[in-house]
Structures are given as structure tokens and as C-alpha cells.
Amino acid sequence: MIDRQNRPAIAPRSGPPELLVERRRGSREETPCQILGINFFTGTAQQAVDKMHSGGLLVVPAAPALIAIGSNAAYREALLSADLVIPDSAYMVMIWNRIGKPPIHRLSGLEYLRVLLMQSDARAYGNTFWIMAGEHSAEVNLKWLREQGIKVRRESVYNAPMYPKGPLEDLELLALIERQRPQHIVVTIGGGNQERIGLYLRRTLSYKPAIHCIGAAIAFLSGDQVHVPRWADKFALGWLLRVVSHPRRYAPRYWHARKLFGILLRYRSELPPYTGK
């Protein structure tokens, strides 16, 4: 059971400075836009967060991972089975808005996370479970969360192992979540694996939490990876900051993502065939 006795007072709606988001008037049309066979959400970050309050799986595919939709069966299945897919990839959005209709707005995983962490239920003590990339990442991210007024129980943090290819099963993780039954589960590991974990949990858990696969978004805020300020995220320059900070690690990854152009040009709204290669 979740310990609700020791929860700190919920921060006011204005929130800590790091999490302040720009107030936008009105809302956007939420009609999904099908790209490569995937129904991408077209609303705002707040609309996406509101939708996830009823539970389900949210994924944020980046261009380097998205090119594997025709060859990675588990990743493909997770994207097609997700309840909400947000268009985080500026590269994909740029190409689509030149070759397809209707045009869409980019919604970054970083913006989504900022809005999510302003919600009282996501901030509540014991109500969010965090799946981290490792011990060091967990330390840095938890320190940043505390600075934002968000206290996380130790038992609500799980350092994910290196999962092998093939069917995914993690009984230890499953038991931890079933015992605590949090409303929110935030997955912060790399693209390709986090979607597999998210789908595994959605299908296996005995209840329906909101599972947010937001990847490195929290690392851009906490300093676990290069800091991505709001202006850089607005102009979709996060990838460039990553490349500058660690060129050997990220330059090949983003160079490989150029293949997405040919895939989009060929298949547009249709799902590419599975090749298994």
C-alpha cells in the first residue's frame, strides 16, 4: 500500500522555477496523425498529460530509434500498441510537414515531462514509481527531483538491468510495482528498451497505471546528461547539444538517423513492412 501519511504539502501550481512552463492559450486539435502506421498525438503537453490520467502507455520515439520500426519486432509492437505516441522527433516533424498532410506540431518529451511534474498526483509522495538507467543516473535524478520539491521513496526507484533481446520479463520489477501500486510509472532509460518495458508492464500488471516512457528527458534537466535549456528545446537543438557534449557517442547515432528521410518518403502514412533485418 502507498504510504499517504508522510506526504509533503503539494507545491502550488506555479511550481519551482526549473519546472515552470509557458502558459499557452487555448488548445490544439487532438485528432491523431498517422505517420509510418503510427497514430501520433497532435495536442499540447497538457492535453497529453490529461489523457494519461486514465492510465495507459505513452511513448516518445526519437528518430534514431524510429528507423528500426521495420526491423525490430519488439519496438515495432510497442509503438503500435501504445495508447499515446507523441511527436518528439523534430527531424520527423520537419520531413512530414513537407511531404504529408495534415501538418503537425512537435511535442517534446522534455516539455511533456515538465508539465507532468507540475501535476499534484505525480508529485505526491509514493504515487510515482521511477525506472532509472542505473545507480549513478538515479542518484543525480533523485537529487534534482528533491530540489524541485518532489520526494521519492527509495523503494519507488528501480535501476533497470541490461535486458537481452527477445521477450522481456522482469519479475522483480513487476513485484515491486504490484506491491506499491503507484498511479504513475516513469521510465527513463534509452529508446528501444523502455518501450519494451512499458508494454510488458501494461500487459502484465493487474491494474492500469499511467506508464510514461520519456527516455533521457529528466537527464536533460538533472544534469545526468548535457543540460537542455528551454530555448534549446523550443528550437529542437537538444540533439546538437548532445553531439557537442559527447561527439563520439552521439554523432554516429544521429548520422544514422538520416535514413528516416528515405523511410518517410517511401511509406509516408503507411506502416513499413517487417523485414526482420
Average pLDDT over residues 199-217: 96
Where are the chain's structural domains?
52-267
Q: Which residues contact 250 (CB under 8 A, 6 or more apart)?
A: 239, 242, 243
**Residues 26, 29: Cα–Cα separation, whole Å:** 10
pLDDT in tens, 218-264: 999 998 888 889 898 899 888 889 889 999 988 988 899 999 999 99
The answer to whether the pTM exceeds 0.75 is yes
8 CB burial (10 A radius; 0-12, 13-18, 19+): exposed
**Residues 227, 216: Cα–Cα separation, whole Å:** 11
Output the CA torsion 43→116→254→85 (10° steps).
Answer: -40
Q: What's the pLDDT band for 119 if we cut at 50, 70, 90?
A: very high
DSSP secondary structure string for all residues of 45-62: HHHHHHHHTT-EEEE---
The reported pLDDT for the residue numbered 16 is: 61
